[in-house]
Amino acid sequence: MNLLDGLNPEQRAAVELPAQSALILAGAGSGKTRVLTTRIAYLISTGQVSPHGILAVTFTNKAAKEMVTRLSAMLPINTRGMWIGTFHGLCNRMLRAHHREANLPQAFQILDSSDQLSAIKRVMKAQNVDPEKFIPRDVQNFISGSKEQGLRAHEVEAYDPFTRRKVEVFAEYDAQCQREGVVDFSELLLRCYELLQRNQQLREHYQDRFKHILVDEFQDTNPLQYRWLKLLAGRNNALFAVGDDDQSIYAFRGANVGNMQELLRDFHVENVIKLEQNYRSHGNILDAANALISNNKGRLGKNLWTSENGGEQLRVYEAETDVDEARFIVEEIQELKREGVKLTEMALLYRSNAQSRVLEHALVSAGLSYRVYGGLRFFERQEIKHTLAYLRLMENTDDDNALLRIINFPTRGIGARSIEQLQEAARINNTTLWDAAARAGGKVTAFVGLIESLRSGIAGLPLPEIMEHVLHHSGLVAHYESEKAVASKRREAEERLENMNELINSATLFVHENEDDSLTAFLTHASLESGEHQAGDGDDALHLMTVHAAKGLEFHTVFITGLEESLFPHQNSIDNNDLDEERRLMYVAITRARRRLYLTFAQRRMLHGQTHYSRVSSFMRELPEALLHWITPRYSASPSFQPSSYEANSYARAFAANPKVPMEKAPPSPSAMWRIGQRVFHQKFGEGVVTGTEGSGNEGRVQVNFKRAGSKWLALEYAKLEAI
């Protein structure tokens, strides 16, 4: 089979590019993973590079595994030794190989987000930093954000005493991690970058090895990731970057869409290939996405198209309330289900998690199965983290975070005061908690003996048996078995025991899939996997998720809910007068749909315990009218929001109800002219929001809540209101 069979002209051109740096602008559903994988296979099969001369970077372990699987199917090669993985995974691999040069112990452990937060809290407590004034999670974000910019504590500019205090915590936190032989996620990349930057021999070694560097989802790279790539690429290697600036939606995580423009300049890129043919969605969906995103400034520019037909128009529903919106969605889901569309092929997307409550309530009431995508991950569950903490401490007794998590779990009579004394002793003697515990006596000594016993008990055991031994001899299984006897805890305890059994299964699978099946390797795997979404149980269930969580997914039918100004786009973006990323987020939401797309919004919505009167999202006005099918009367489709538009709709509805009545005689009702939640202006009373309507024709009235004058009923005939 020819590797290039089935590729469209643009895909083929990307795969066959010469050994020069290139940017592939890959639109949603354009087959970017196929292009990236085929490019690797093409380079190897044509003898341009060996499998060991490839460095391929992805953003998730799932994507990396998919790439390896596809390569194995394309070429008869051993992919085990290839460098294909995430930024964190590849940096971990490099640091393991050169731990001495990186000033790290060979068995260094990786702190996940919660363990990092615990470590920061310990530093803050030791330095008497007020957690009310300095929120630990804010300090954590400050430290991680600084590292992602490539900055150490001494390099951060502290303009005020508040920032200086955070810098002091940052510096001591780094020192504590160094003492304990642990690194956080941001440290993996920064430590690896610093290693390559200062060690010319090592840097040149990897530059000579990796002649071809390929990067997926390049628009999501942060500044440090790009600098790391530039170091490895050097002056002579080819950087093949695949990405889509229109889908850059992770600025809050540090992603810098400007890296794409920098790539063009820094690498003198001559080859920019646009993958615009979409293999996912019908034409009307793509036309809507193209029209919307065309309003963004500074785009590299592309236009999605499909060889399929236009398909259905986008269905628009304007609800009176969020409850009405949820009711409508449930009814449509039930109808789609009757038509044969599986629940798992449908998704409800929302901008904010706060929106899900009403949707979930409606789904439960209707007896529809659903799953909130992005819930608690497997390796983040309490019982799993407890088990891993035992394993981490057995592997590296300098890991204070692990010790603190399990020293009194299950309960063994070591109270908070004893732990404080232990921490104080470690601080005074400048040692780890383990060293202090070894000299403490009493119940703490018994805990040390337990860990030593566990360490000797697993000697020579294969990884799955290590898991089983620790689960039973640590007391964890007995603890949750005892909780099963309590009726109120039975179900939770059973689930926790099932999860611990699943950990053994995870270890078994790990042994089969990895050459290095050591405990250290598995613990690294668990830390790196903790940010991955775990697969569901396979039940036919509707998907609920934020738009951010939906990136990379696709569904037969998509509902984009809550399309209201200040909700989507978010108020923060409106206040900052920067809607580009919000518009990209909407673009991502639209392009998740293959066949049917619903756009819904409500006049009134309950958020954070308060009723909010809403205006339709400005994004709705950026969608061509010809692509929209209004299920409800089109009250708010007119860009001008003028009453004349509502009158016209009122006439149309009256004529539809009774064709014998001439349209010009159909009297407009207040609700046809003014909708609840609409902002209006009155020459005497100023700005206000419509909160009610009643009556019809010239006898109708409209209620407006004015900012200055309060709530007033105005006769329709004399209201003289203007829409704003």
Write out the catalytic residue numbers: 32-33, 216-217, 247, 592
Are the C-beta atoms of residues 377 and 502 closer than 8 Å to each other?
no
Query: Which residues on adjacent β-strands are paired with residue 622?
Result: none
Residue 82 DSSP one-character state? S
d(CA 68, CA 514): 13
Are the C-beta atoms of residues 691 and 613 closer than 8 Å to each other?
yes
Are the C-beta atoms of residues 101 and 195 closer than 8 Å to each other?
yes
Q: Is 629 exposed, middle or buried (0-12, 13-18, 19+ CB in 10 A)?
A: exposed
d(CA 569, CA 621): 12
Are the C-beta atoms of residues 279 and 29 closer than 8 Å to each other?
yes
SS3 606: strand
d(CA 181, CA 168): 20
Place of tokens 């055991």: 461
Report CA 469 to chain centroid distance, whole Å.
Answer: 35
Are the C-beta atoms of residues 629 and 600 closer than 8 Å to each other?
no
- Cis ω on the peptide bond leading into residue 410 (within 30° of 0)? yes
User: Cβ contacts of residue 719 below 8 Å, gap of 6+?
Assistant: 682, 702
d(CA 654, CA 662): 9
Tell me how far CA of residue 722 lies from CA of 39, 674, 684, 704, in angstroms. Answer: 59, 10, 12, 12
User: Cβ contacts of residue 72 below 8 Å, gap of 6+?
Assistant: 79
- Cis ω on the peptide bond leading into residue 624 (within 30° of 0)? no
d(CA 526, CA 522): 6
Give the β-pairing of 54-58 and 628-630: unpaired
Among 699, 720, 701, CA closest to 711: 701
Q: Is 316 exposed, middle or buried (0-12, 13-18, 19+ CB in 10 A)?
A: buried
Q: Which amino acid is at 396?
A: N
Six-digit token string for 297:
């400034």
Residue 266 DSSP one-character state? H
Six-digit token string for 18:
């010469």
Query: Which residues on adjacent β-strands are paired with residue 238?
Result: 212
Q: Which amino acid is at 541?
A: A
User: Cβ contacts of residue 432 below 8 Å, gap of 6+?
Assistant: 179, 180, 397, 398, 400, 426
N-to-C CA span, the chain: 62
Q: Which amino acid is at 11?
A: Q
> What one-character-per-residue DSSP string does 622-639 give?
GS-GGGEEESS--SS-ST
